[in-house]
Amino acid sequence: MIVNSTQIRKNESEQGERMSEFRRTLSTFGDTTPVKHPYDRGFDFQNCERNKRLMQDGNLTIKAMKTGTTICGVVYKDGVVLGADTRSTGGTIVMDKNCEKIHYIAPNIYCCGAGTAADTENTTALISSQLELHRLNTNTESRVVTAMTLLKQMLFRYQGHISAALVLGGVDATGPHLYTVYPHGSTDKLPYVTMGSGSLAAMSMFEQGYKDDMTEEEAKKLVQDAILAGVFNDLGSGSNVDITIIKKGPNGVEVVQDINSIKPNEVSQLRDQVKRNIVTDIPRGATAVLKSTFEKFRPELVVEEATPMEL
């Protein structure tokens, strides 16, 4: 048998190239660096710089999303009262008439959310799981300031792209605490706070009725009035009023949730307090008829030709 030496060298060269390619493939298995594709798809926060340049050149206009909600909270003598409406909207359409906006964070901490429903629910769920792991590791009660710090650090990391405006309240070993957390990560600690599109109307009720060392009933009534003010003065707020009371009890922190504490058919008393102007009550016949014309309606008859069905 005659063996061609040129063919043997060619086969050995091809085999060597295949082995080199195989070794390179094995070496990349442990590499966790993301592969950069020339046509990357999906949302990327690095596009923020690109969008800024496009806006400066006038080639891009980003429209702000209008969200609607009224949430608030107040600190009273023994704890914190949180309140929220229950309307969820998509543009000008009411998507959910009984949406829960007061989210569980810890056994002694709750959080009201305004903004995009998915962002508020998943943000609070993430922080709640982190605090649960912290309690299991330390065997201690969660502090309200810890939840606030985790929330503000997470939201600041995304520079406001997570639409979650939060009212955080709770009671821990240092007493009752109430915070606001804005979507960009800034926070405030105040005795009473409001957030959402109906926050201005709710704040007017707080500034009028707040006082130091309120009782639980006074604080609950004030929060209900604040949420109702947002419901009646903001189209993005409506439906029922949810209340959550967090207070220090003899056996630790107690949480009392009053879901749908005020329903739409129970707000007639608030409407009765509004004094309508007598000018709006115009008696029948007070407006003179200057001219009247009557025409007989004759519908237009349309005859359509049709092809008979073949049998």
Q: What positions carry a catalytic annotation?
A: 69
SS3 213: coil
Q: In DSSP terms, which residues pair with 89 in a beta bridge?
A: 94
The CA distance from 263 to 95, in Å, is: 18
Q: Is 50:62 a contact under the CB 8 Å cutoff?
A: no
User: Taking Cα atoms as reference points, which of 192, 233, 220, 205 lies closest to residue 75?
Assistant: 192
Residues 6 or more apart from 224 whose CB is under 8 A from it?
Answer: 83, 241, 243, 261, 262
Q: Which amino acid, 85?
A: D
- In the chain, the DSSP E strands lie at 71-75, 79-85, 88-90, 93-96, 102-106, 109-115, 164-172, 175-181, 187-189, 192-195, 241-249, 252-262
118: left (phi > 0), else alpha (psi -120 to 50), else beta? alpha
**Length of the chain in terms of residues written:** 311
Q: Cα dist. 36→25, 26, 39, 41, 300 in Å?
A: 17, 19, 8, 11, 66
